[in-house]
Structure 1
Amino acid sequence: MTSFTRRHLAGGAVGLAALAAPHVARGETRRWRMVTSWPKRLPGPGMSAERIAERIAALSGGRLQITVHAAGELVPAFEVLDAVGGGVAEMGHTAAFYWQGKQPAAAFYTTVPFGLTPAEHVAWVEAGGGQALWDEVYAPFGVKPFMGGNTGVCMGGWFRAPLGGLSALRGLKVRALGLGGEVYRRLGATPQTTAPADILVSLQSGVLDGAEFVGPGTDIALGLYRVAPHYYGPGFNKPNGTGECLVSLSAWKGLDADLKAIVAHACATEAGYALSEMERLNAEALAALIERHKVKLESFPAEIVEAARVQAVDVLAGIASQNTLARKVHDSYTGFRDRVAPWSRVSIRAVLEARGA
């Protein structure tokens, strides 16, 4: 058992493990495969996938063993949803906004331009009706979704050349996914859906002029700073970074109640732990990028942010108009954002302003 596993078997986890104990004697073992959208053990989402598998094995007393596969080992990065729903693998770890072409409402479950922050997003999913709608969105694809990690507030992106203003975006080929990608398109850029493992090579070759991925703690591992030294914020395009863990509905229905509880618990624990870890990693990586690698940390020109905010409203309205379920998710999400915003202003924003950072 790894030191990580020992640290995370306290409290409720021990209770869940105890539930599984009577079954271990029968020698029952299930072996599942988890396909992911990430390079092997990528800091952030790649490690979230590994930790979820470790927790499930430990909490189940070995009854449920999961082998994690990096993007491309069994299926390409952007085929995880179909692979899990189609029975190629029992689990997947990915990001919901990859599936907006299949169901527009899916994008709300990763991040929305100018949308909910990580804490607000968790509140919406867990306590604001978001999970029930998420289950409804994914049921036709044969999977059950869980929050399975979070990379926190993201950055705006890496660019090979500085952005002098809104006109500088016109014609740029930018790796930008989800609804943020559509905002970039409306600002004149050409969004690209480049898989994470291919971003660096695409920047080096000039196939991409810029790329957004996650935040410093993950971006540094891809080495994007080597060829695109201009690092822009704020991440208006991705203010949150929820990773999702998918379970095949047929496999899920075949689990005993205690194993279902273990899977759900492992995902929920990772959603919280990953956000905490990324706060640390992002802070450390940002310092390394600036001090060691001489990255130029820059702010988007005000006219880009202002134009993006206007376009984001229209993008969300367009998603809501596509089908009834998309409208339900849109209304739930934006309604929650409107209700929580006054509190966020007098709590988090006010505290940050008060402490001067």
Structure 2
Amino acid sequence: MKRREFIKKAGVGAVAAGAVFAGAPAVHASKTIEITMVTTWPRDFPGLGTGAQRFAKRLSDMTNGRMKVNYYAAGERVKAFDSFDEVASGNAQMYHAADYYWKGKHPSWAYMTAVPFGLTVNEMNAWIRFGGGQELWDELGAEFGIKGLLCGNTGSQMGGWFRKEINSPEDLKGLKMRIPGLGGDVMAKLGASTVSIPGGQIYENLISGAIDATEWVGPWNDAFMKFYEAAKYYYYPGMHEPGSALGLGMNKKWWDGLSASDQLLIEAAASMENDVMMAEFNSRNGESLRKLVTEQGVLLREFNDDIYDAFGEAAAEVFEETRKHSPLAAKIHDSFEKARKEVGGWMKISDQAYLNQRNRVLKL
């Protein structure tokens, strides 16, 4: 065969092969994947709700609508705290929530959001992504038919809103407080009467006097909720949620049936929201706190050392009880504790040490 003739035939073959190769993804791309997503947040709620909505839109946009996410806020399809069962059963494919809401099903779900004296956002990301946290999350989720991913974080939360000053651990006794997760268990150890209710119901319970105090998130979200109309004392720092991760929970059978590329697309969209939401909270909280104090007359207070020491003693009891729940609970706690020691030890001489000196020099 002459050289020119060989090249001509080879070129035609390459074009044909390229057409077949290019055509294959086109067939796959034309198949729309309908996704029902439920959440524990009110529609358009700043940060939490808008972050979940942003994720849903981003995933649809990233796939040019091939993954069509039908988003439902709390109460639009199911009640907020029914989101887990809706996804585990397969009636919906995704939820967006704080996984500590499910601690009644297994206490280890709390670790996937935040626990008392737990991990900051940077520590949480390190544990989940590189410290074995994701693998343990997968092991826990598999027992309930759920696959979880990080999909947002609110950062270090405030200690809560109180109708009266809290000057000692004794002031917590008999207090009716909305606080979920293991943080609620800590408060109960100190004599508080705790409840876990969805965010959309907190204001009405606080304003009516059904509860005496509440934790929620931080200045940006709390100002939107107008808690200052019912309680003026705003305490910090919150021991219960130092870096609250929001979870994207998916029906595991549905997740396992996706192609590897579609799983990566979902992971990418969730990972982006994990970063964007934290940036938004950090951007909004400072100004919101200033306005709460200067315009709404909120009285900013810091928990004293006696109260924090009591928190620590109660938290140690709660952790020991949690470890005894099951071998998996013990394994998750021990992994978390290892991350808190090792990653936290590094943060102490890196971020924390720098911030202490920066703020001292600049008098911030």
Query: Normalization by structure 1: what TM-score?
Result: 0.92
Equivalent position of 1:183 in the other structure = 186
Equivalent position of 2:148 in the other structure = 145
1:136 aligns with one of 122, 131, 139: 139
Equivalent position of 1:223 in the other structure = 226
Equivalent position of 2:313 in the other structure = 310
Once residues 350 and 256 of structure 2 are traced to their aligned partners in structure 1, the CA distance between those partners, rounded to angstroms, is 42
Once residues 341 and 140 of structure 1 are traced to their aligned partners in structure 2, the CA distance between those partners, rounded to angstroms, is 30
Alignment of 1:1-357 (within 5 A): 22-23=25-26, 27-356=30-359, 357=364
Once residues 107 and 20 of structure 1 are traced to their aligned partners in structure 2, the CA distance between those partners, rounded to angstroms, is 46
State the superposition RMSD in angstroms.
1.7
SS of structure 2 residue aligned to 1:141: coil
Once residues 340 and 90 of structure 1 are traced to their aligned partners in structure 2, the CA distance between those partners, rounded to angstroms, is 34
Once residues 44 and 27 of structure 2 are traced to their aligned partners in structure 1, the CA distance between those partners, rounded to angstroms, is 29
User: Is the radius of gyration larger for structure 1 or structure 2?
Assistant: 2
Contact 1:60-1:259 within 8 A present in 2 as well: no
- Deviation, 1:254, is 2.7
In structure 2, give the amino acid aligned to 1:96: D
- Deviation, 1:22, is 3.8
In structure 2, give the amino acid aligned to 1:335: K
In structure 1, give the amino acid aligned to 2:114: T
Which moved further from structure 2: 264-273 or 251-260? 251-260
Which moved further from structure 2: 256-265 or 197-206? 256-265
Q: Percent identity?
A: 39
Q: Deviations over 1:277-327 (max 9, x none)?
A: 110111121112112212111111321111001111121111111101101
- Deviation, 1:181, is 0.3
Q: Deviations over 1:245-280 (max 9, x none)?
A: 011112212322221111111001111111111101
Contact 1:319-1:326 within 8 A present in 2 as well: yes
Once residues 203 and 26 of structure 2 are traced to their aligned partners in structure 1, the CA distance between those partners, rounded to angstroms, is 47
- Deviation, 1:112, is 1.2
- Deviation, 1:168, is 1.2
Contact 1:166-1:301 within 8 A present in 2 as well: no
- Deviation, 1:26, is 5.7
CA pair 154-20 structure 1, distance change in 2 beyond 3 A = farther
Once residues 227 and 85 of structure 1 are traced to their aligned partners in structure 2, the CA distance between those partners, rounded to angstroms, is 37
- Deviation, 1:209, is 0.1
Once residues 89 and 185 of structure 2 are traced to their aligned partners in structure 1, the CA distance between those partners, rounded to angstroms, is 29
Once residues 157 and 48 of structure 2 are traced to their aligned partners in structure 1, the CA distance between those partners, rounded to angstroms, is 13
- Deviation, 1:354, is 0.5
Gaps of 5+ in 1: 1-18
In structure 2, give the amino acid aligned to 1:151: T
Query: Normalization by structure 2: what TM-score?
Result: 0.90
Q: Deviations over 1:7-37 (max 9, x none)?
A: xxxxxxxxxxxx9994378632122111100
Once residues 302 and 340 of structure 2 are traced to their aligned partners in structure 1, the CA distance between those partners, rounded to angstroms, is 25
Gaps of 5+ in 2: 1-21
Once residues 289 and 260 of structure 1 are traced to their aligned partners in structure 2, the CA distance between those partners, rounded to angstroms, is 42
Once residues 185 and 263 of structure 1 are traced to their aligned partners in structure 2, the CA distance between those partners, rounded to angstroms, is 38
SS of structure 1 residue aligned to 2:76: coil
In structure 2, give the amino acid aligned to 1:79: D
Once residues 325 and 21 of structure 1 are traced to their aligned partners in structure 2, the CA distance between those partners, rounded to angstroms, is 43
- Deviation, 1:43, is 1.2
